[in-house]
A and B are shown apart, each in its own frame.
Chain A
Amino acid sequence: QKEVEQNSGPLSVPEGAIASLNCTYSDRGSQSFFWYRQYSGKSPELIMFIYSNGDKEDGRFTAQLNKASQYVSLLIRDSQPSDSATYLCAVGAGGFKTIFGAGTRLFVKA
C-alpha cells in the first residue's frame, strides 16, 4: 500500500515567521509531488508542484524534494494569518492516481 505521511498538527507559528511543513512517502518510484492548500470548508487548491530534487520557489513558498530520503517539504516565509489552512501533500502514484496525505493544519497567530 503506497502511503503519504504528514504530521496532523496543528502547527502554530507567529505572523512573519517561517512555517515548515513536512511529508514522507513510501513509493520510491514516485516522480511527481504536489502541495495543496485547503481552507476550512473549502476544497483543495494547488500551491506547488515539484519533480526534481532540490528546491523550487514561488513567491513566499518553497518546495523541497529529497528523493533519496523520500521526503518533501513546504516552507512558507513571512507567514500571514491568511495562510492558516490545512496543507495536503500529494504524490503521483503511477498511472492516473495521486495519493494524498491526511494534511497538516497550520495556524498563523497575528
Chain B
Amino acid sequence: DVKVTQSSRYLVKRTGEKVFLECVQDMDHENMFWYRQDPGLGLRLIYFSYDVKMKEKGDIPEGYSVSREKKERFSLILESASTNQTSMYLCASSFAGTANVGNTQYFGPGTRLTVL
C-alpha cells in the first residue's frame, strides 16, 4: 500500500517566517509533486521532481522553493511566508514516466497552512 506522509496536518506561521513542509513516500516513486488547493481553483502545481536533486517549476512557483536530496523526501520551502500563501498544501508521488502513460498520483493527507 502506497503511503505518502506530510510532516504536519495544521501549521500556523507569521508573515515573513521561513516555512518548511516535508513529504515522505515509501513506494520508491521517482516523481514527486507539490500542489496547493484553494476553493474554486482546484489543485495547482507548485513544483515537481522526477529524480533526486532534479526539480521543475510548476504553474505557480513564485514565493516557493523545493529540495529533493533523497528519493523518498521532497520538501517545500516558503522563503518568506505571506498571507496569500494561506492554503492547503498537498504532496503527491508517482512512478517514473510521464502523465500521458497513465501515471497515477498518490497524495499525502495535506497540510493546512495559515499565515497570519
Contact = CB atoms under 8 A, between A and B. Distances in A.
Interface stretch (A10-18, A61-69, A76-84, A96-104): A96-104
A44 B43 CA distance: 10
A104 B105 CA distance: 19
Contacts of B40: 8, 102
A34 interface: yes
Interface in A1-33: 4, 8, 30-32
Contacts of A42: 109
B90 A43 contact: yes
A32 B99 contact: yes
Main secondary structure of the interface of A (DSSP, over half): loop
A56 B49 CA distance: 31
Nearest to A6: B42
Contacts of B34: none
A78 B105 CA distance: 27
Interface residues of A, number: 25
A94 interface: yes
A96 B31 contact: yes
Contacts of A44: 43, 90, 107
Interface string B1-41: 00000000000000000000000000000010001000011
Contact of B98 (A34, A92, A101): A92
B45 interface: yes
Contact of B99 (A8, A94, A101): A94
Contact of A43 (B45, B102, B107): B107
B82 to A, nearest CB: 23
Interface of B: 31, 35, 40-45, 48, 50, 56, 58, 90, 98-110
- The 5 A-B pairs at the shortest CB distance, nearest first, are namely A92-B99, A102-B42, A43-B107, A100-B43, A31-B100
